[in-house]
Amino acid sequence: MFLCHMPERSFSYQQLFDFTQSVFKKIGCSDEHADTATKALLSADLRGIDSHGIARLSGYIRLWEVKRVNAIPDIKIIHETPSTAVVDGDSGLGLVVAPFAMKIAIEKAKQVGTGWVSVQNSNHFGIAAHHAMMALEHDMIGMAMTNASPLVAPTFSIDKMLGTNPICVAAPAGNEPAFVADLATTTAANGKLEILQRKNKETPVGWVQDAEGNSSTDANVLKKGGALLPLGGDREHGSNKGYALGAIVDIFSALLSGANYAPWVPPFPAYVPMPAQQPGKGIGHFLGAMRIDAFRPADDFKQHMDNWIKGFRNARPIAGQEKVLVPGDPEREFETERMKNGISLLQQVTEDLKVLALKFELPSL
């Protein structure tokens, strides 16, 4: 038995929940905020987006340590109309600010059909799907976007000008599970590069470029001045479209709200210096909710969504593939499996959590 060399250890969702919640309380979060933040953070681990879950907990805490995250934010609406609002997150955890904003979007949708909330002065919000999916139980379509620190070079650019800027749309169905599309507007997210780095493998062509803007397959290229590429990879394969989508997310999240944008978005790692120029406050999000019955009866919509989903599931798969998937399928399968069998964490992550336990005098996981 060489336990100390085991690369992964498995924990129940409840174990991770209790630990994470305790950490957020230790930095001063209210019970309610700690609960909200923990649910948002761990939804990533449940859904198989390991790069955005508890693996980032120590990163959030470091942002609190350098006073970039405010654990007791006064989150508030600073401007509104019947269908819109701008929220100032007061430097709170995005994990708390985004659900606050999404609730406002849902309330406005109840009143006037749709609600749209742009957020300034926030921080990383975890996975977009968690927030968008809040709309589902209200028979609404939910949307969530966020900008992020610049890792992506637009088409023809050497410079990194955009974040991975994800878009999520969640739409309810009837007997079928909900449609949930959650996508970074890059060919590959940073988490996929990290997996290749650990395996010492190269990336496919079209994921990254080097510091001079040449096509590269070096999974470590971001540390050497390289960049992620927009969805499409290069101009010939439509990277101008991935670039445009990332730009739309930036405009909705930050230009509408007054947050920082483009290359001036604050970095997630606390040790990376803040950009010299700051045209806005913190990072920006955009949350939306559309009440289905503001368009047609919800039951009609859901029945047709079931028909739509079944149509795609019944499409003929290409040789070597078992079936055609509907957006949200892989994440839902992860969630079912991990809720039942637990969540495996890499040794590096559990070591990070041990350090947090020591720091905050909590029982180690």
Query: Of 312-351, which residues contact a second copy (CB under 8 A)?
Result: 312, 315-319, 321, 323-325, 327
Measured from the CB atom, the residue of 53 and 242 that comes closer to a second copy is 242
Compute the distance between CA of residue 364 and CA of residue 360 in angstroms, rounded to an integer.
10
Partners of residue 175 on adjacent β-strands: none
Told to check if 275 binds a second copy by CB under 8 A, we report no
Closest CA to 344 of 61, 48, 3: 48
Q: Which of 49, 19, 74 is nearest to 353 (CA)?
A: 19
What is the rounded CA–CA span in Å between residue 296 and residue 282? 38
Select the span of 95-103, 293-301, 339-347, 357-365 touching a second copy (CB under 8 A): 293-301
Q: Which of residues 132-151 bind a second copy (CB under 8 A)?
A: 141
Q: What is the C-alpha R_g of the chain?
A: 20
Q: Which of residues 111-130 bind a second copy (CB under 8 A)?
A: 111-114, 116, 118
Element (H, E) at 309: helix 298-313
Decide if residue 219 touches a second copy (CB under 8 A): no
Round to whole Å and give the CA distance between 266 and 200. Answer: 29
Cβ 71 to a second copy shortest distance, Å:
27
To the nearest whole angstrom, how small is the minimum distance from the Cβ of residue 74 to a second copy?
20
Q: Which stretch binds a second copy (CB under 8 A): 48-56, 300-308, 333-341, 344-352?
A: 300-308
Identify residues 23-52 at the interface with a second copy (CB under 8 A): none
CA-nearest of 62, 60, 67 to 42 is: 60
Q: Which of residues 178-207 bind a second copy (CB under 8 A)?
A: 179, 181, 183-188, 204, 206-207
Residues 6+ apart with CB under 8 A from 339: 13, 46
Three-class SS state of 170: strand
Q: Show the site string, 65-104: x = touches a second copy by CB under 8 A, - = not.
A: --------------x-xxxx-x------------------
Does residue 177 interact with a second copy by CB under 8 A?
A: no
Span 235-274, contacts to a second copy by CB under 8 A: 236-238, 240-245, 247-248, 250-252, 255-258, 261-263
Q: Does 276 bind a second copy (CB under 8 A)?
A: no
Please count the residues of this chain forming the interface with a second copy, following the rule CB under 8 A: 88
Among 12, 62, 191, 294, binds a second copy (CB under 8 A): 294
- CA–CA distances in Å: residue 205 to residues 6, 19, 222, 245: 33, 40, 15, 21
Q: How far is the CB of 306 from a second copy (least distance, A)?
A: 11
Question: Which run of H or E residues covers position 94?
Answer: helix 94-112
Q: Which is nearer to a second copy, 27 or 244 (CB)?
A: 244
Q: Count CB neighbours of 237 within 10 A.
A: 14
Over the range 175-199, which residues count as b (16 or more CB within 10 Å of their CB) and which as e?
ebebbbebbbbbbbbbebbbebeee
Nearest distance from residue 276's CB to a second copy, in Å?
A: 13
Q: Considering beta carbons, is residue 65 or 159 the nearer one to a second copy?
A: 159
User: What are the residues facing 140 on neighbouring strands?
Assistant: 291
| Residue 343 C-beta: closest distance to a second copy, Å | 23
- Asked whether position 225 contacts a second copy by CB under 8 A, the answer is no
